[in-house]
Amino acid sequence: MSKRTVLAAAIVCATAIAPALQAEAREIKIVGSSTVFPYTQAVAEEFARSGGKAPTVESTGTGGGMKIFCAGVGEAHPDITGASRAMKSSEKELCEKNGVSDVTEVLLGYDGLSVANSRKGTKFSVTKEQLYLALAAKVPADGKLVDNPYKKWSDIDKALPGQEILAYGPPPTSGTRDAFVELVFHHVCKKSKEGYWADQQKSLDKAAFKKAYKGDCTAMRTDGPFIEAGENDNLIVQRLEADPKAVGIFGYSFLFENQDKLQALQIGGVEPSMDTIASGDYGISRPLFIYVKNAHRKVIDGMEAFIKEYVSDKAMGDGGYLSERGLVVLPAGKLKEVQDSALNAKKMAAK
Amino acid sequence: MTDTTLGSTGSGHDWSSPASRRRVKRRYAADRRLQFYGIAAIGTAMALLGVLFVSLIQAGYAAFTTTKVELSIFLDPAAISQEKPGEANYRRIVRDAFKAYFPDVTGRSDERSLYKIMSSGSDYIVRDYVVGNPGKIGENVKILVPVSDPFDQLYKRIIPRRIDALSSDRIALFDALKQQGVLSVEDGAGVAKVSVFIDPAKVPSEGGVAAADYDAMIKDGLRSYFRNEYSRSYEEIISATAAEKLQSVVAADPSVVGKIVEVKLPLAANYDNLLQTGQATIRNPRFGSDVEFAWFDSLEKRGLIATPFTWELFFNADSRFPELAGLAGALSGSLLALLICFVLSFPIGIATAVYLEEFAPKNRTTDLIEVNINNLAAVPSVVFGLLGLALFLNTFGMPRSAPLVGGMVLALMTLPTIIVATRAALKAVPPSIREAALGVGASRHQVALHHVLPLAMPGILTGTIIGLAQALGETAPLLLIGMNAFIPSVENIGLTEPAMALPTQIFSWADSPERGFVSRTSAAILVLLGFLVMMNLLAVYLRRKLERKW
């Protein structure tokens, strides 16, 4: 019996490995941000259904995607990476160092971050300053930074509801968290007209001030009112349903899909919607990008066609299938510009 | 001395004494308690398992049917060529067929929202049908295509058409106002009788009563009813047209400036409904307009909506659209990875175990190996994933997301389990078998391969299947080597082609915002559990069938 088993195993092994050895032209490989992931998925699917070879799309996070993308040129490296922020100068350097110098930046559109609670709870409006005061680890008081003393929303402003501050949000590894910190905390600290941060800005030079706010205006509080709920935004949605007094921080697409259960907090009196995010009236929105490795364009089968599909009006345009998935599309003029630079492989400006 | 002690307990003990009876009773009670603890433990485990299954089935059963709409399409030979049936403009054909149900819908934006009822994959479903049945060109055919996810969820009553317009805190404010006797219905409209001070300071000298800030006066007036309320959300209760109403009152009698007047102000629409009907609802904001419901209802009334079993769940590739997403890619990926895992770990595992158990001398080296194998069995699977990432992908340059690499990583994880199970099975073969074989002159390798191994096979197979079942459910190592890539097609299946696996597919669906993926996730978990149960049943069957008693 054992002889036969070994023999059978060997045969199965041989037949299974054989096809693997016939290498063929590989499909398009895409990595990057989990926020851009659903949109790239939709395009990849459309591309595959209309006859192209199905691209492989993997969600690695913006930073992780950049690392793999910038690792080099050649079969083993991905062709496109998605990003929920612009490429950093350190990442550009990494790319250049590894010979990835010809990269096209494609602005896809915008994504809003929503702060929402259950429809059973109180609907209220907050400003970015109030969000900062409610959720930052250290807040200014009497000219210096102190540990966040606020327990209830009404401690910050009497017009806010008298309920405990309780917010569920993404962990530090998430692009959503980066965006929230940058768009709310840093915005407040940089733009404050008076008080601690305004004094710091006056007294420190540019680099020192940047260091100061990157250090002291970035941490979210860890004394209870802010709870990290993991990368899975659906979990936050479920938590909010169970607790009407809690608010959650997540991507707009999750709010869009769960509007029967959740209501958005207005930010500075503005309700998040496709229109307010696109116009920039809604204060917490960020641009989404894909970065295309131009050296691969001619080599990887179907890559030109895939990019054409991605930037087509039918996908990225007003009413296109990406907008149905929750992408806030570019205004017509900007879209035209993006399409031109994407199709003509316009090289991204050096740092 | 021992004699006397024995004698006194053996014969002299009075078993019927109350103290002795109590002791016996206590012993029986302890017995019963132990049994009770056991039953309670099993009961708890079963109850938890039951809760898991009930919640999975509750969430997942909806995914086993798909809401579909029947299209009747004339496959026009002028539009679809016999030679190249795949290249016609199916988007147009499908939309025209759907539009034919609603002849009175016109205008670009209306048509666009009408087409949103159909799944975006409809074009391809019709195309594939025509390519599969080119003989039908020139005929009228009826084809079922899925409706889009929101309507699927709507039809299954997972998301509602209408939701409460007012949150509970707003209703509380409204009730507070109602209790003060301020609200009433007049001429079919809800009004609030509010005392408003016509503040001369808010009436500008220029423009007079026509330009006064009546809004502010009304808000101040309302304030007096909510003295303890910090939030100003009660201001919503009064309609935006109330200022005009107040203006007309003041314009009719300018002498009231500087006095308090009692005016009946109209309520805002939601509060008006709440007052008159006891409830206020609005359309689920996920849907653009009530017309969409009407369109969908008319389809249903005409009997065009059907809910067949979702075969797509097993035969479709993954998709961004929940109504089209299936497990075919994940199933094939898992199967290939398991195949590799089996091919690698089964022979290596058995060879290792046979050597260690039957041939290896007992010394420090083999002891060390043994300890390490037992340790490996307890290493968290994510560590094997990292090893695979560093070794297979980065050093050997093997392809990312491939079932070949996935299988190799899983094999590393399964190996110790198989080795441990095989050694246990070999140990269980009685020494008499070995001695008898040696006694009739068999060599040591003949003893091991011809006699001991076949007898140990049932135990080995059970261990292997359980190890593989464990590997089937592993997520962490596969995530690390990229087996969670999105692959929208099942055309390229192969060991080095990118693929998903069942658990990573579940992981990816669970993180998708679309509502349909909630039930799809649970359904995928049920499918995975189904496979695990089948594998475990196979293990039990093989053990029963092949087991030998000595």
User: Do residues A116 and A212 share a domain?
Assistant: yes
* DSSP string for A196-255: HHHHHHHHS-HHHHHHHHHHHSSPBP-SSSEEE--S-HHHHHHHHHH-TT-EEEEEHHHH
B394 touches chain A (CB under 8 A): no
Residues from chain B that touch A27, judged by Cβ atoms under 8 A, are 492, 498
Q: Residue B78: what pLDDT?
A: 87
User: Do residues B54 and B99 share a domain?
Assistant: no
Q: Residue A24: what pLDDT?
A: 52
By the 10 Å C-beta count (0-12 exposed, 13-18 middle, 19+ buried), A4 is classed as exposed
C-alpha span between B323 and B307 (Å, rounded): 12
Q: How confident is the model at residue B108 (pLDDT cuts 50, 70, 90)?
A: confident
Q: Nearest residue of B to residue A1 by CA position?
A: B454
Would residue A13 count as lying in a domain? Answer: no
User: Do residues A140 and A260 share a domain?
Assistant: yes
Residues from chain B that touch A23, judged by Cβ atoms under 8 A, are 496
Contacts of residue B286, defined as CB under 8 A and 6 or more positions apart, other chains included, come to A256, A257, A259, A260, B150, B159
By the 10 Å C-beta count (0-12 exposed, 13-18 middle, 19+ buried), B537 is classed as exposed
Q: Residue B492: what pLDDT?
A: 80
Residues from chain B that touch A161, judged by Cβ atoms under 8 A, are 169, 230-231
Q: Residue B546: what pLDDT?
A: 82
Type of residue at A130? Q
User: Do residues B364 and B510 share a domain?
Assistant: yes
Q: Nearest residue of B to residue A234 by CA position?
A: B511
User: Do residues B367 and B509 share a domain?
Assistant: yes
Would residue A15 count as lying in a domain? Answer: no
Q: Residue A131: what pLDDT?
A: 93
Question: Which secondary-structure segment (H or E) carries B164?
Answer: strand B162-164
Q: Residue A336: what pLDDT?
A: 92
Would residue A19 count as lying in a domain? Answer: no
User: Do residues A53 and A93 share a domain?
Assistant: yes
Give the residue-averaged pLDDT of B210-238. Answer: 82
Residue A185 predicted with pLDDT over 50: yes
A44 touches chain B (CB under 8 A): yes
Residue B230 predicted with pLDDT over 70: no
CB A262 within 8 A of CB A237: yes
What is the nearest CA distance from B473 to chain A, expressed in angstroms?
20
Contacts of residue B131, defined as CB under 8 A and 6 or more positions apart, other chains included, come to B85, B86
A123 touches chain B (CB under 8 A): yes
Residue contact A16–B340, C-beta within 8 A: yes
Residue contact A76–B397, C-beta within 8 A: yes
**Mean pLDDT for chain B?**
89
User: Do residues B390 and B469 share a domain?
Assistant: yes
Selected for mutation to probe chain A from B219, B282, B486 (highest A CB count within 10 Å) is B486
Would residue B315 count as lying in a domain? Answer: no
Q: What interhelical angle do A303-311 and A332-343 show, nearest 10?
A: 170
C-alpha span between A149 and B476 (Å, rounded): 40
User: Do residues A278 and A295 share a domain?
Assistant: no
Residue A329's alpha-carbon distances to A45, A249, A335, B248, in angstroms, are: 19, 22, 8, 45
Touching A: B residues 438-457, CB under 8 Å: 449, 453-454, 457
Would residue B320 count as lying in a domain? Answer: no
User: Do residues A132 and A279 share a domain?
Assistant: yes
Q: Residue B129: what pLDDT?
A: 92
* A-B C-beta contacts closer than 8 Å: 146
What is the nearest CA distance from A254 to chain B, expressed in angstroms?
5
Would residue A52 count as lying in a domain? Answer: yes
Q: How confident is the model at residue A5 (pLDDT cuts 50, 70, 90)?
A: low
Per the structure, the complete domain to which residue A79 belongs is given by 24-110+287-343
Least trusted range by pLDDT, from A179-193, A306-320, B24-38, B207-221: B207-221
Max avg pLDDT among A82-91, B239-248, B466-475? B466-475
Would residue B2 count as lying in a domain? Answer: no
User: Do residues A104 and A119 share a domain?
Assistant: no
Q: Nearest residue of B to residue A16 by CA position?
A: B495
Go through A164-180 and write b for each residue having 16 or more CB atoms within 10 A of its CB, e for each that does not: ebbbbbbeeebbbbbbb
Would residue B8 count as lying in a domain? Answer: no
Residue A3 predicted with pLDDT over 70: no
Phi–psi pair at A347, nearest 5 degrees: -70, 135
Q: How confident is the model at residue B213 (pLDDT cuts 50, 70, 90)?
A: confident
User: Do residues A244 and A295 share a domain?
Assistant: no
Touching A: B residues 126-145, CB under 8 Å: none
Residue contact B346–A9, C-beta within 8 A: yes
The 10s digit of each residue's pLDDT in A220-259 is: 999 989 998 877 788 888 889 889 899 999 888 888 888 8
C-alpha span between B291 and B303 (Å, rounded): 19
Give the residue-averaged pLDDT of B447-457. Answer: 92
Go through B208-228 and write b for each residue having 16 or more CB atoms within 10 A of its CB, e for each that does not: ebeebebbebbbebbeebbee
A251 touches chain B (CB under 8 A): yes
Selected for mutation to probe chain A from B487, B500, B520 (highest A CB count within 10 Å) is B487
User: Do residues B497 and B519 share a domain?
Assistant: yes
Of the residues A285, A315, A332, the one at which a domain ends: A285
More confident of the two residues A208 and A292: A292
Give the residue-averaged pLDDT of B271-297. Answer: 89
User: Do residues A308 and A276 share a domain?
Assistant: no
User: Do residues A131 and A248 share a domain?
Assistant: yes
A152 touches chain B (CB under 8 A): no
Give the residue-averaged pLDDT of A120-132. Answer: 90
User: Do residues B54 and B79 share a domain?
Assistant: no
User: Do residues B78 and B115 share a domain?
Assistant: yes
3-class DSSP state of B483:
coil
User: Do residues B483 and B436 share a domain?
Assistant: yes
Nearest CB to B169; choose among A122, A160, A319 = A122
Per the structure, the complete domain to which residue B142 belongs is given by 68-159+303-308
Q: Residue B171: what pLDDT?
A: 86
Residue contact B286–A256, C-beta within 8 A: yes
B491 touches chain A (CB under 8 A): yes
User: Do residues A119 and A74 share a domain?
Assistant: no
Assign residue B489 the CATH number of its domain.
1.10.3720.10
B164 touches chain A (CB under 8 A): yes
CB B219 within 8 A of CB B213: no
C-alpha span between A343 and A106 (Å, rounded): 10
Residues from chain A that touch B347, judged by Cβ atoms under 8 A, are 5-6, 9
User: Do residues B190 and B277 share a domain?
Assistant: yes
User: Do residues A145 and A202 share a domain?
Assistant: yes
Residue A8 predicted with pLDDT over 60: no
Assign residue A156 the CATH number of its domain.
3.40.190.10
What is the nearest CA distance from B247 to chain A, expressed in angstroms?
27
Residue B250 predicted with pLDDT over 60: yes
Pair of tokens at residue B471: 């590997």
Would residue B4 count as lying in a domain? Answer: no
| Count of structural domains within chain A | 2
User: Do residues B477 and B357 share a domain?
Assistant: yes
Of the residues A285, A304, A322, the one at which a domain ends: A285
User: Do residues A125 and A67 share a domain?
Assistant: no
| Count of structural domains within chain B | 4
Give the residue-averaged pLDDT of A72-91. Answer: 89
Contacts of residue A197, defined as CB under 8 A and 6 or more positions apart, other chains included, come to A140, A188, A189, A190, A213, A217
A49 touches chain B (CB under 8 A): yes
Residue contact A48–B488, C-beta within 8 A: yes
Residue B325 predicted with pLDDT over 90: yes
Nearest CB to B284; choose among A251, A253, A260 = A260
CB atoms within 10 A of CB B477: 25
Q: Residue A321: what pLDDT?
A: 84
C-alpha span between A76 and B289 (Å, rounded): 49
- Bridge partner residues of B283 (DSSP): B162
C-alpha span between B166 and A245 (Å, rounded): 15
Q: How confident is the model at residue B2 (pLDDT cuts 50, 70, 90)?
A: very low
Contacts of residue B183, defined as CB under 8 A and 6 or more positions apart, other chains included, come to B177, B190, B191, B192, B193, B267, B275
Q: Residue A172: what pLDDT?
A: 81
CB A129 within 8 A of CB A193: no
The 10s digit of each residue's pLDDT in B396-416 is: 888 888 999 999 999 999 999
Closest listed residue to residue A64, CA positions, set A215, A231, A181, A210: A231
Would residue B459 count as lying in a domain? Answer: yes
